[in-house]
Structure 1
């Protein structure tokens, strides 16, 4: 399937998903899994970050996608002891083996400039303690498997991919478990071996510092296992950023088996807001839909949607038949009121407008499908916008121009027929350039409407003689 067909297929998938088939999930085993293979795919899970739940969801999707690919290996999670027991039970039901471990203390965390999100990543070294297995493929949660990669178990004592010209990536690597190597690594950690980032990445790059000079891995046709260290072809760790430039799936070398997302933590593919900034995120959600589904988030999504719809209805009914201006703020005589400047009123309305776009963003469940997430966000911002319109008698088109601009930007970024990433970036930039004057026009119209509203209220309260008393820059008002 070429790129255009793939994009259209994903769009059809999104429509199918939003139509209501969101509650599917994977049925796993009823009891904890036990070792049944000589090889394993493993990942780690620990607590203490604001994104613990999201990574738990990502780990389930990744491991269950491996089951769908019919890998001939055990699936294993190295979990710190504080991982919630209900998460552990769910992993067991998925057919995943869970090994509980104590967190490895990170001595690099005391360095200036250390990123705290790397504090427990050295737990990845526990992969070398899985001595019941001949080979282990150690994974990060942000891997997207396109096909079975069991041939990796034929690699040597350590194998990794260089997605950076000089540094290999530890989001996927092959290892031969060894207690001796594990103890040596712990000693090197306690001795503060050179580590550029204080995480597992920097430590392993330093520990296997000659990997760049090792031969490229090619799986033996007879199925035998190799000895030594090897570089893995790029196709086992395709950096998703390559897609953003070329807008195509394939890299020119390697098996094109695994896509990785080594981006900023808040731009991982499972976050609904990352699409369409990260177009490949839809592929991750396809795998989630086929594995664990979205049933866990759907009750909250339905309740939130109902809240927004009720909010819009109530705002329309509540202000109908009442004088809606300034939301019960009434003009009073000087001796009865306090001073409120029109500019302060404009600042209040502007703050509410900004809040109407920010608040729904934080209320949407983080790991829902992007179409559902963006739809719920747009519904929420429209709901709060309707409240503002009715409360302050604001003109509808200027008030909702930013809303239309956001909707248009999603269309501009998601347009499926760009030839490459440069054209896509230029198109989005051109859209922003053309939309900016409309946003400015909308802002000035809203501010002008507020001036008109204040003057009209002065006439309503003080009568026809208000024009001689009213000063646009100073208005006496009081909360009723």
Structure 2
């Protein structure tokens, strides 16, 4: 082997060794880089803020799913506002795992599973069963990983980021009632001593006027009305003691409905609350335009959670209603062949029964669609589906009993008109709006009554005429039938 060949061989060997070493170094660098990235990611996931927004979720009411949707919308709205705090859901052990998974993986919340606190006030005469598990809210004091916690109900609508609330003291709340503060939003400093003391008060049955969290917490902090108003320090420090929060942190929706605008001068207009009747919460599709603020909550849902979960049911119902309209129209000639016996001694009772059936079918046409529409769908979709469903079911009575369409649909037209009157955006205040609605109803009442009388009269004529239709199984019509028709 010559000198040049040996040189090439050594050069090839050195080049191969160099490549192996280079690949090994590259592998080590990538490995440690991935390991460091994984550790950083795990640290970021485990890292928590010093403060938290918390809400609770429990099962056992007819509105569990609606409050689950409301909770997700509220959490996502806080994420959208870029709040500097953790988002915590205090969930009872019976909350479905798929709900917990959605809250954690899709909404970014931290779910704390708890056992339901025993409510010793459930046998009180004035106790409302829907408040049986609201005492789970006391678990907020057990979140000792945080310096401050803002405890929230699911029916809060955020207009801006209220992170300055974390500067408040050991307990702060809003008085939307002149004498009793509201527990739909309050600030607290977690403490296991306070939590254990509260649980002890539950065990001994401390007086509670309503048997719910509102009465219990109000009784635990009875002197809050005499405390000073909270004003966040400009240097970002946290205050000590108890404070009243300005009304702008819990603006009762009732104030808006009076003037159709906000007029809350004390404090920033940060949070809207809906403490009214449970069946008029903002997430129900029928709450708007009855309560105008409902559309703002749905706008927030549209921007955060969306309506993908509700749309399949909406599409199915729409297809069914359109099919009913088409079938009843095509089958109209056969509907009129109701077979009655001309000489039956019970013909009067049969006619009465058919009258009742006809009136109940009209009544059902306006009631059934209301209950089958997904409760949390957007109001515009919900009311459109309701009008479509009531029209479709009304056509069954119209074609089956040969009733005049305009008279049967008088209520349908009245409902459509009152929706337009309520949704009109040019009212000066809520009083004028209410008077306009009452005036419209007063003007529509005579037309509705005339339509009802006309329906009954037409129904009587139809039933008397049907006495001359052939019986079931008869091959030829009775005598005189061809002369009359």
| Fold-level similarity (TM above 0.5) | yes
Match runs of 1:362-401 below 5 Å: 362-401=371-410
Which residue number in structure 1 is paired with residue 411 of structure 2? 402
Say yes or no: does 1:170 pair with 2:179.
no
Quote the Cα distance in structure 2 between the aligned partners of 1:235 and 1:401: 44
Which residue number in structure 1 is paired with residue 88 of structure 2? 76
8 A contact 1:34–1:97 mirrored in 2: no
Quote the Cα distance in structure 2 between the aligned partners of 1:337 and 1:165: 66
TM-score normalised to the size of structure 2?
A: 0.87
Shift of 1:332: 1.3
Instruction: Identify which of 118, 122, 126 aligns with 1:105.
Output: 118
TM-score normalised to the size of structure 1?
A: 0.88
Shift of 1:34: 4.2
Which residue number in structure 2 is paired with residue 161 of structure 1? 174
Mark the runs of 5 or more structure 2 residues left unpaired by the alignment: 1-40, 471-477
8 A contact 1:319–1:390 mirrored in 2: yes
1:215-246 CA-to-partner distances (Å, cap 9, x unmatched) read 00000000000000000000000000001101
1:312-334 CA-to-partner distances (Å, cap 9, x unmatched) read 111112234x3x32xx5312143
Say yes or no: does 1:64 pair with 2:73.
no
Say yes or no: does 1:197 pair with 2:206.
no
8 A contact 1:238–1:258 mirrored in 2: yes
Shift of 1:138: 0.2
Which residue number in structure 2 is paired with residue 152 of structure 1? 165
Which residue number in structure 2 is paired with residue 25 of structure 1? none
Shift of 1:200: 0.4
Which residue number in structure 1 is paired with residue 331 of structure 2? 318
Quote the Cα distance in structure 2 between the aligned partners of 1:438 and 1:124: 51
Which residue number in structure 2 is paired with residue 221 of structure 1? 234
8 A contact 1:250–1:256 mirrored in 2: no
Deviates more, 1:220-229 or 1:349-358: 349-358
1:350-405 CA-to-partner distances (Å, cap 9, x unmatched) read 11111010000011000000000010011000000111111111101101010000
**Alpha-carbon distance change, 30 to 285 in structure 1, aligned in 2, over 3 angstroms:** farther
Shift of 1:45: 0.2
Shift of 1:343: 3.5
Say yes or no: does 1:257 pair with 2:270.
yes
Shift of 1:338: 5.9
**Alpha-carbon distance change, 33 to 372 in structure 1, aligned in 2, over 3 angstroms:** farther
SS of alignment partner, residue 234 of structure 2: coil
Which residue number in structure 1 is paired with residue 61 of structure 2? 49
Which residue number in structure 2 is paired with residue 22 of structure 1? none
**Alpha-carbon distance change, 362 to 230 in structure 1, aligned in 2, over 3 angstroms:** same
Say yes or no: does 1:233 pair with 2:242.
no
Quote the Cα distance in structure 1 between the aligned partners of 2:135 and 2:47: 24
Quote the Cα distance in structure 2 between the aligned partners of 1:299 and 1:466: 51
1:146-196 CA-to-partner distances (Å, cap 9, x unmatched) read 000000000000000000000000000000000000000111111221211
Quote the Cα distance in structure 2 between the aligned partners of 1:210 and 1:337: 74
Which structure would you say has the larger RCO, counting Cα contacts within 8 Å and 6 or more residues apart? Answer: 1
SS of alignment partner, residue 331 of structure 2: helix
**Alpha-carbon distance change, 87 to 460 in structure 1, aligned in 2, over 3 angstroms:** closer
**Alpha-carbon distance change, 464 to 240 in structure 1, aligned in 2, over 3 angstroms:** same
Which residue number in structure 2 is paired with residue 286 of structure 1? 299
SS of alignment partner, residue 131 of structure 1: coil
Say yes or no: does 1:85 pair with 2:97.
yes
Quote the Cα distance in structure 1 between the aligned partners of 2:468 and 2:176: 69
Shift of 1:141: 0.1
8 A contact 1:131–1:177 mirrored in 2: yes
Which residue number in structure 1 is paired with residue 458 of structure 2? 449
Quote the Cα distance in structure 2 between the aligned partners of 1:132 and 1:353: 59
Quote the Cα distance in structure 2 between the aligned partners of 1:35 and 1:159: 27
Quote the Cα distance in structure 1 between the aligned partners of 2:230 and 2:152: 18
Say yes or no: does 1:422 pair with 2:435.
no
**Alpha-carbon distance change, 392 to 104 in structure 1, aligned in 2, over 3 angstroms:** same
Which residue number in structure 2 is paired with residue 210 of structure 1? 223
SS of alignment partner, residue 329 of structure 1: coil
1:259-301 CA-to-partner distances (Å, cap 9, x unmatched) read 0000111110000011111110100001100111000011111
Quote the Cα distance in structure 1 between the aligned partners of 2:230 and 2:256: 24
Quote the Cα distance in structure 1 between the aligned partners of 2:44 and 2:316: 34
Mark the runs of 5 or more structure 1 residues left unpaired by the alignment: 1-28, 468-480
Which residue number in structure 2 is paired with residue 351 of structure 1? 360
Quote the Cα distance in structure 1 between the aligned partners of 2:44 and 2:200: 33
Which residue number in structure 1 is paired with residue 288 of structure 2? 275
Quote the Cα distance in structure 2 between the aligned partners of 1:390 and 1:351: 15
Q: Looking at CA atoms only, which structure, 1 or 2, has the larger radius of gyration?
A: 2
8 A contact 2:469–2:481 mirrored in 1: no
Quote the Cα distance in structure 2 between the aligned partners of 1:295 and 1:434: 40
Matched length: 435
